[in-house]
Structure 1
């Protein structure tokens, strides 16, 4: 029996950049992605726009989808010859259900693979400046689940308490009182350092340190909760010495995925959490290029209109020489330079007023053009949107729009309720035309920023925006 492939993928501790290269590739190739609740939604943006995204996340005492159902879904999708990613927080084989899922797939004759991930037990502590081992403090570490099956019974507390290495408890916040009580009862010193890291490696990470004597009171006062890692041991002393907080930590910025990584990487390198959303794609429409070539002037509204025009020429076994003495016009020096980089030099740069009085000109553009309806306008491409309904808009501190098309790509790809909800989030507009569009669409917190990457990052660093 032929079937697809199930990839049990570890997503790492939370930060999307800590996903492995193979894990990212498997998500990009997947027909179906079944993900847990602790997965940062931005990781899902790697999935194809055609992929089916299924939230099978679990909360304490509440399973959104039962494990038996998850197991069967993996089998059923695979039998439909689909590529399935079971995306799990951390590493799929460290205190998760990855082993059980692998067993079920094996029994049912399903092709599967394991794609390891960085376990939060190690990487999560590192994100808070806490090494699990250190020559001066600990030569071993012990990862312990504080959330066991009932049939497993209680933990061997006397053995755990007398271990000299670092104790790392996962899924333990609900049982913090039990953990502290049992360690003290079994003669662990009350002065033993304790750290709690919530949402480790993510933009919302919170750290709390204390000792076995005072950590419960500190937790109650701070309100820190699940999901958290609890670390017990002398390595916690290194938190204040090693931990580094980057200047843009705490900012979560939504940016269009435009293929250029300079802006995105620059923000991330300074500590911001950057989430990219899917862009629309251009699709050529049916048009008569012969009619366009009858005009003495051709005005390109944007670079996609130029690309589509040249592509149509090539399909008709023609090239730029076909236009003869026809003048090529654009609206900005930036667009003129982009076209020049392809080897073609435009004849002139004109503004809207000059265009309005120009005779014998074909205006070519897309569906969003303000020239729609004019007799001399040719819509030669249309914009197809990709859904972004998976984005969690409650978490963004800023949205950064690099162009007008980036605005429409987002607004056209989410539902009406989401579109209304984001209008109060601070919107950073890279250019006056972008600012005008955002204001016209009802955004209430719009800030004009320079269209230059370095200056945008510097303004954020200096708190100007």
Structure 2
């Protein structure tokens, strides 16, 4: 029987719909990390932290199927067809999505298409920004005596306009989170006030949640639109409405971390424990590949390293790496050495 199972596994590929959460390495589940490490081909979205792709084997094919609002380089039908086709050519196919595949990520549609085509698939959940994004900004999704429920809405619809029941949202007593709603913010504010929701209801905006670029502002429903325009809040951003916003400053741990705001470049060969130690101190990681890596990996590194402000390496940089890190502060030593040195600053 085991021989039969092994033969089936060798003759048909399996598609994994993987949630990458906020994009931090430490937010990946063990199953998601394992999938990336054994992937033969990865189809990834626009908002994915592309540094995670460096975790995949050097032989892994990387396919960008990202869709910008109003400019879909790949239609949803084309993407699902690519997944089906890949299952006939590769063993481990990863469809990498930000957040969770089944929460406004069209993962359900892709899974249905795979099921109807007879393709073996599995879903690996990710931590949605509607929970993790709030946490990194110091906002709990629920809080006793303040909010006993969580409601998540999308600011997008098939017709390109908001399609929300503002009366129902206004009457709900819990935490209300709006994803993909930057363009729809004006409609949302107007709709909720029109439905009778108090303009003084606490509200917060979080941009690039959980990343080095994270910004947030705390306001109220009546002032949120003007405040966001003044602060030039842009996508990707989310909005949270409710009493849980009030104590945000007391619970904000992330922006207080010593390496918050720093983007640190490390070798993709850096031990996982060292990577997590840097993230625990608030840093964003940027992986640079081996010089022998294929051109697609090098291009990813070139783009990412332009944003790095510190590069850590134990080995002397070769000319290729020196060129990539020309405008980056270089620390020669181990991650432990760097943390020890940094702690003395």
Normalising to structure 2: TM-score of the pair? 0.89
What are the Cα deviations for residues 440-462 of structure 1, in whole angstroms up to 9, with x where unaligned? xxxxxxxxxxx465553244345
The CA distance in 1 between the partners of 2:337 and 2:305, in whole Å, is 26
Partner of 2:260: 249
What are the Cα deviations for residues 293-350 of structure 1, in whole angstroms up to 9, with x where unaligned? xxxxxxxxxxxxxxxxxxxxxxxxxxxxxxxxxxxxxxxxxxxxxxxxxxxxxxxxxx
Q: For 1:18-29, what aligned pairs fall within 5 Å after superposition?
A: 18-29=27-38
Partner of 1:156: 165
Give 1:102 shift.
Answer: 0.6
Q: Does 1:9 align with 2:14?
A: no
Q: For 1:52-451, what aligned pairs fall within 5 Å after superposition?
A: 52-150=61-159, 154-244=163-253, 245-260=256-271, 263-279=274-290, 384-385=292-293, 387-391=297-301, 392-404=304-316, 407-408=317-318, 411=320, 420=323, 422-428=325-331, 430=332, 451=333
Higher relative contact order (CA 8 A, sep 6+): 2
Q: Is the 8 A contact 1:16 1:42 kept in 2?
A: no
Give 1:151 shift.
Answer: 9.3
The CA distance in 1 between the partners of 2:105 and 2:268, in whole Å, is 32
What are the Cα deviations for residues 268-301 of structure 1, in whole angstroms up to 9, with x where unaligned? 2221112233336xxxxxxxxxxxxxxxxxxxxx
The CA distance in 2 between the partners of 1:174 and 1:188, in whole Å, is 21
Q: Is the 8 A contact 1:262 1:453 kept in 2?
A: no
What are the Cα deviations for residues 400-445 of structure 1, in whole angstroms up to 9, with x where unaligned? 22212xx22x827xxxxxx7564122233x1xxxxxxxxxxxxxxx
User: Using a 3 Å threshold, how does the CA distance of structure 1 residues 51 and 238 change in structure 2: closer, same or farther?
Assistant: same
The CA distance in 1 between the partners of 2:223 and 2:32, in whole Å, is 40
Give 1:206 shift.
Answer: 1.1
| SS of corresponding position for 2:130 | helix
Partner of 2:3: none
User: Using a 3 Å threshold, how does the CA distance of structure 1 residues 276 and 62 change in structure 2: closer, same or farther?
Assistant: same
Larger radius of gyration: 1
Larger displacement relative to structure 2 (253-262 or 77-86): 253-262
How many residues align? The count is 330
Unaligned segments of structure 1, at least 5 residues: 281-383, 413-418, 431-450
The CA distance in 1 between the partners of 2:113 and 2:293, in whole Å, is 38
RMSD: 2.2
The CA distance in 2 between the partners of 1:180 and 1:33, in whole Å, is 38
Q: Is the 8 A contact 1:254 1:274 kept in 2?
A: yes
Give 1:18 shift.
Answer: 0.2
Unaligned segments of structure 2, at least 5 residues: 1-7
Normalising to structure 1: TM-score of the pair? 0.67
